A and B are shown apart, each in its own frame.
Chain A
Amino acid sequence: MTVSAVIFIVLGLFFFTGGSIGILRFPDFYSRLHPAGKLDSMGLLMTMAGMALYTLRDFSLPAIITALKIMLIVVLVFITSPTATHAILDAGVRAGLGPWTAPEKKVKE
C-alpha cells in the first residue's frame, strides 16, 4: 500500500513539474492555460490518490472516511478547475487577445 502511494505521489509530482515547465515555456496566454488547467488537475488526482492510499494503510472506518474526504477534494477540483480555465480563456477572448502564431523564419540571404 505504501509503495503504491509513493508511486502515485511521484507520478503526481511529475505531472505538476510538467505543468510548471509548460507555464514557463509556452509562448502565449492560451497555450499556457493548457498545462495550467490540465496537468494540475491530473497531478492533483495522482497526489490525492496517493495520500488516500497512504491513509488506508491501517484499514479502519476513520481511515476510510478520511480517504473519502481526500477524494472529495479531487471531485471539487475536477468540477471547478476546468470551469476556472474556461472563464479565464473566455475573458481573454472577450478582451480581444489573439492567439499566438509562429513567427515566420527569416531567410538569410
Chain B
Amino acid sequence: MRTLGLIAAFCLGGLLFFISFDFPSWGDALSPASRHVSPYYIEHSLEDTSVPNIVTAVLADYRGFDTLFETAVIFSAGLACFFLVRVSERQVPAARFYRHLATGITFRIEKGGRLPEGTGEFERIDSLWVPYDVIIGMTCRLVVPFIQLFALYVIAHGHHSPGGGFQGGVIFGAAIILFAISTNLRRTLKRMSERSSALLSSLGVLIYAGTGLLCLFMGAGFLNYRALAAILGVDQVAARSDGILIVESGVGIAVAAVMVWIYYNLSSAGKQDEGL
C-alpha cells in the first residue's frame, strides 16, 4: 500500500514537473496573463477606483468575490477549530493555584475549591507556567497599544501603501495574543470574551457580504461599489474607493477576531481555563 502511494505520488509529481516546462517563463511580457487582464488593471485602476495601490484595487474591487470567500475561509477555520477543540462541559480542575498579592505566597487549593478573587487579595495563577515578571508585563503593556494603533494604520492605509484588511487584522490579533501571553488567558477573556470574538468574526464577514448585498439592492451587481455613491453622497469613483475601505475593515475585524478565537481554543486545549 505504501509503495502504491509512493508510485502515485511520483507519477503525479513527475507529471506536474513535466507540465511546468510548458509554462511561460517568469515575467514573460507575451504570456496570456500579462497580455489580457494585467495591462487593464495597471492602466485603468487609478481612474476607475482612485486607489493608487493596484493590489488593493484588484483584491477588494475587481476580484472582490475572491476576497469575500477568502474571508469566509478564515471564518470557517475559526469555526472548525471551535468545533474540534472546544470542550463544552465544565470540568473541575484537580487543583487551583492562587497567589497572595501582598506576600507573594502561592496557595494550592484542591478539589475545586476557590479563594475570593475579586477582593484584590488573591490572584489566580496557572499551574504550569507562573511568570511573576515585571519586565515582560510592563514592556507588553507599553507596546500593545502602539501595535494596535499600527494595525489600524495598516488597515486604513491599504489604499496607498502595502497593507489592508488581512495584514492589519493579523497585527491586531497578534497584539491581543501578545497581551494574553504576557498576562494570562483568564484576564484576556475578561477583556475580550469568547462570545465577543466569535460575534466579531462573523460580523466581519457580514460587513463584507452586506456591502455586496447593499450594492445588489441599489440596483447594481454584487459588490459593485459604484451603486453606493447615492448612499455615501460622493461620485462613483470615490464610492469605489470608500467601498474598498468598508470591505477592508470588515476583513480586518474578521481576521483579528478569528486569530484571537483560535488562540483561545488551541492554547487551553479547548477548556479556556488555564492556558499559555
Contact = CB atoms under 8 A, between A and B. Distances in A.
A80 B133 contact: no
A87 interface: yes
Contacts of B146: 76
Given A79-B139, A87-B133, 10 more contacts: A79-B143, A80-B139, A80-B143, A83-B136, A83-B139, A83-B140, A86-B135, A90-B131, A90-B133, A94-B129
Nearest to A80: B143
B136 A76 contact: no
A96 to B, nearest CB: 13
Interface string B138-156: 0110110010000000000
B136 A86 contact: yes
10 A-B pairs with least C-beta separation: A83-B139, A87-B136, A86-B135, A83-B136, A80-B143, A83-B135, A79-B139, A79-B143, A90-B133, A79-B142
Contacts of B139: 79-80, 83
Interface of B: 129, 131, 133, 135-136, 139-140, 142-143, 146
14 contacts: A76-B143, A76-B146, A79-B139, A79-B142, A80-B143, A83-B135, A83-B139, A83-B140, A86-B135, A86-B136, A87-B136, A90-B133, A90-B136, A94-B129
A78 B51 CA distance: 35
Nearest to A87: B136
A94 B136 CA distance: 15
Chain A, interface size category, equals under 10
Contacts of A87: 133, 136
A34 B135 CA distance: 18
Contacts of B140: 83
A91 to B, nearest CB: 9
Nearest to B182: A87
A83 B146 CA distance: 16
B178 to A, nearest CB: 10
Contacts of B133: 87, 90
A87 to B, nearest CB: 5
Contacts of A80: 139, 143
A86 B133 CA distance: 10
Contacts of A86: 135-136
Contacts of A83: 135-136, 139-140
Nearest to A90: B133
Interface string A65-109: 000000000001001100100110010001000000000000000
A52 to B, nearest CB: 18
